[in-house]
Amino acid sequence: MIELKGISKKFGDTQAVKQVSFKVAEKETLVLLGTSGCGKTTTLKMINRLIEPDGGQIFINNENITNQDPDVLRKGIGYVMQNIGLFPHYTIAENIALVPKLLKWDKEKIKSRTQELIQKLHLPERTLAMYPHELSGGQQQRVGLARALVTDPSVLLMDEPFGALDNVTRTSIQKEFKALEELKRKTIVMVTHDVQEAFELADRICLMDKGEVVQIGTPKELLYRPINDFARNFLAGKRLALEFKVINIQDIWTYLPEETIHKGESKSANLSIWEAMELLRNNDRPELFVSGADQAIKSINFGQLTKGFNQYQNAQLHE
Ligand SMILES: Nc1ncnc2c1ncn2[C@@H]1O[C@H](COP(=O)(O)OP(=O)(O)OP(=O)(O)O)[C@@H](O)[C@H]1O
């Protein structure tokens, strides 16, 4: 659990962070979202004391971090830096082994954990002997993640972890990231300026502006209950795409046709509207069978899907 209470930081005359407070529950992913310069990175770096706040308090697992030795604190927190930050003159294996060596792990333990991680992150074995510049951006990003995960810390801080990637690589790594079991056990604070990415990966989003928190809430809360014009305008232009990603079949269940009997294969109602549309687009048949709570099955076609979604959307906006 991470808790920030009234955290502030000034650089000269610039109030980079002003009275920021939030709580991140165990195993939750909180995404700090906002335009460039709004104080996201400064906030993140205060959690591992790379920057010291001028005021306020930070607790990790109920312990005030100012009472901890910063080096010990940092060794216990995984950190994925902006622009990856691998050491250019160290091999990939050496880059991953940095913190385990500081913690005096024996060679065998480092080797077996490194092997485990590169498999999970789909990095070819031969990359271990290579240097960062010999790897693609996507591969470097995976190494950055491996380095942050190697000691299995319960807390992970990620600063624009996919920022250096082109759109296609970015989308595929985001998907893998979401599916990685190891990350589901972690309490994560992640920084991004990319709205789509925030909505894809966050349990809750902390929207920031000019060093202050504007709104903290689930993706659905930000979409349907924006607290002010800034929050509303921040999502403008991307609303529909975000709704397709955030809303799933279970959400619109009551607006879909009656249940049916079907013995064959069916898809889970956890499918997002977007995923359901993709499946329907690539389906041989015009309908898709989805199974909701209590194993109830519904058959939906494209028209029924969009109608159900529109009804759900109207209900949200007029609630
Ligand atoms: N070391 C520093 N010295 C002086 N000013 C700084 C320093 N670090 C950050 N700032 C200023 O503090 C403000 C917040 O910066 P910060 O890097 O936290 O924003 P950000 O939201 O992470 O932006 P970006 O996405 O561009 O990294 C900015 O105005 C920035 O110029």
Q: How many CB atoms lie within 10 A of CB 64?
A: 12
What's the whole-number average pLDDT of the chain?
Answer: 92
- What pLDDT score does 25 carry? 97
Q: What is the DSSP letter of 35?
A: S
pLDDT at residue 293 above 90?
no
Q: Identify which of 103, 170, 104, 111 has the alpha carbon closest to the alpha carbon of residue 137.
A: 170
Q: 156 and 44 in one domain?
A: yes
pLDDT digits (tens, 9 = 90+) for 180-226: 888 888 999 999 999 988 998 999 999 999 999 999 999 999 999 99
Q: Determine the Cα–Cα distance for residues 71 and 220; give it in Å rounded to an integer.
A: 38
pLDDT at residue 36 above 80?
yes
**CA dihedral defined by 62, 64, 65, 66, rounded to 10 degrees?**
180
Q: 191 and 62 in one domain?
A: yes
Q: 198 and 287 in one domain?
A: no
- What pLDDT score does 48 carry? 94
Looking at the structure of the chain, the number of domains it has is 2
Is the shortest distance between the CB of 39 and ligand 1 below 6 Å? yes
- What pLDDT score does 286 carry? 86
- What pLDDT score does 174 carry? 80
Poorest-confidence range of 37-46, 156-165, 230-239? Answer: 156-165
Q: 166 and 252 in one domain?
A: no
Q: Determine the Cα–Cα distance for residues 311 and 316; give it in Å rounded to an integer.
A: 9
Average pLDDT over residues 29-50: 96
Containing 60, the helix (H) or strand (E) segment is: strand 55-60
Q: Determine the Cα–Cα distance for residues 164 and 242; give it in Å rounded to an integer.
A: 22
Q: Is residue 152 left, alpha or beta, with left meaning phi > 0 and alpha meaning psi from -120 to 50?
A: left
CATH number at residue 111: 3.40.50.300
Is the shortest distance between the CB of 226 and ligand 1 below 6 Å? no
Q: Determine the Cα–Cα distance for residues 4 and 57; give it in Å rounded to an integer.
A: 6
Nearest CA owner, ligand 1 atom 29: 37
pLDDT digits (tens, 9 = 90+) for 139-192: 898 899 999 999 999 999 999 988 877 777 778 778 888 888 888 889 999 999
- What pLDDT score does 87 carry? 93
Q: Which residues contact 83 (CB under 8 A, 6 or more apart)?
A: 160, 163, 164
Give the range with max mean pLDDT: 19-28, 174-183, 237-246: 19-28
What range defines the domain where residue 259 resides?
Answer: 248-318
Question: Model ipTM?
Answer: 0.96
The percentage of the chain sitting over the pLDDT mark of 70, rounded to a whole number, equals 100
Q: Which residues contact 172 (CB under 8 A, 6 or more apart)?
A: 138
- What pLDDT score does 155 carry? 95
Q: Of 229, 244, 259, which residue sits at a domain end?
A: 244
Taking the CA of residue 43 as reference, the ligand 1 atom at the shortest distance is: 18
- What pLDDT score does 205 carry? 98
Å from CA of 152 to ligand 1 middle: 29
Nearest CA owner, ligand 1 atom 28: 37
Strands (E), 118-246: 155-159, 187-192, 204-209, 212-217
pLDDT digits (tens, 9 = 90+) for 90-138: 999 999 999 899 889 999 999 999 999 999 888 999 999 999 999 988 8
Q: 226 and 298 in one domain?
A: no
Pairing relation of β-strands 14-24 and 2-11? Answer: antiparallel
pLDDT at residue 262 above 80?
no
Buried b or exposed e, range 32-45, using 16+ CB within 10 angstroms? bbbeeebbbbbbbb
- What pLDDT score does 292 carry? 87
Q: Determine the Cα–Cα distance for residues 57 and 312; give it in Å rounded to an integer.
A: 41
Q: Of 224, 244, 264, which residue sits at a domain end?
A: 244
Q: Of 197, 227, 244, which residue sits at a domain end?
A: 244
Mutate to test the pocket of ligand 1, among 15, 35, 38, 42 (most ligand atoms within 8 A of CB): 42
Average pLDDT over residues 257-262: 83
Å from CA of 192 to ligand 1 middle: 13
Nearest CA owner, ligand 1 atom 7: 11
Taking the CA of residue 42 as reference, the ligand 1 atom at the shortest distance is: 18
Average pLDDT over residues 29-46: 96
Å from CA of 288 to ligand 1 middle: 48
